[in-house]
Amino acid sequence: MHAYLSLKYLCNVKYSLEGAEVITRTILVVIVVLAIVVGALAVYFILRRGEEIYNLKNKRVLVVLFEGFQPAEFHPVRNYLQKCGAEVKILSLHRNIGVSYDMYIYDVRDKFNQLAEQYDAIVIIGGEGVYRRVTIEQLPEEVELLQELVIIFNNKGKLVAAICAAPAVLARAGILKGVKATCFPDNKLINILKEGGAQYTGNDVEIHHNIITGKGPGAAGAFAKQIARYLSEA
């Protein structure tokens, strides 16, 4: 009888120890999971804190795309402005540009003044398609139409921004005289800016009154943030 009770006691102790081990392992797993979650949240908030978000609620931005535009400039600019709360609409200079757009320049050519009233900024994205069309002597009709629109925006004091090859559009429209500006580091583009009276700097981003210019894809993020900063203070 004594031996039986001893055996029963030992079994109870064994089960108790096994139960304790299970509980201990469970607690350790929970601690590890919590540590991972807390670490991930910490990294997330640190990254969020490093990305400045401006309040662009009620701001409207018209982004201009050519056939052959540079996606590495377009997506960061559009996404960041939308993240800040801006309403972003796409104006296309060509029928087929590879992405959906809201308006075609030939369909709104008689509404340029209305567009300049309705939108707070016009932003021209660069790319190979822009370069081909702005570095030739005779500009295509759609580029001349864009220049008309840009001049109207500028005359109304609205923000005019262009990146990569697109600052050449501004230069040839005559609105960069005496303006500090930058563009993609190509001799043809640089000469167009200088011939248009711009003070070429070669910096990633230049801000001169209501005109913002950007160097290229590598500066797209900084370019977008300067647009947002300007609009948030306007």
Residue pair 174/196 in contact by the 8 Å Cβ criterion: yes
pLDDT at 150: 99
HEC profile of 4-44: HHHHHHHHHHHHHHHHHHHHHHHHHHHHHHHHHHHHHHHHH
pLDDT digits (tens, 9 = 90+) for 201-215: 999 999 999 999 999
The domain ranges of the chain are 1-50, 60-233
Written out in words, the top-level CATH class of the domain with range 60-233 is alpha beta
Q: How far apart are CA 39 and CA 189, in angstroms?
A: 47
pTM of the model: 0.79
Residue pair 125/167 in contact by the 8 Å Cβ criterion: no
pLDDT digits (tens, 9 = 90+) for 64-100: 999 999 999 999 999 999 999 999 999 999 999 999 9
**pLDDT grade for 234, boundaries at 50, 70 and 90:** confident
Please compute the mean of the pLDDT values over residues 1-19 and round it to a whole number: 52
Residue 166's closest CA among 137, 138, 192, 187? 192
pLDDT digits (tens, 9 = 90+) for 108-166: 999 999 999 999 999 999 999 999 999 999 999 999 999 999 999 999 999 999 999 99
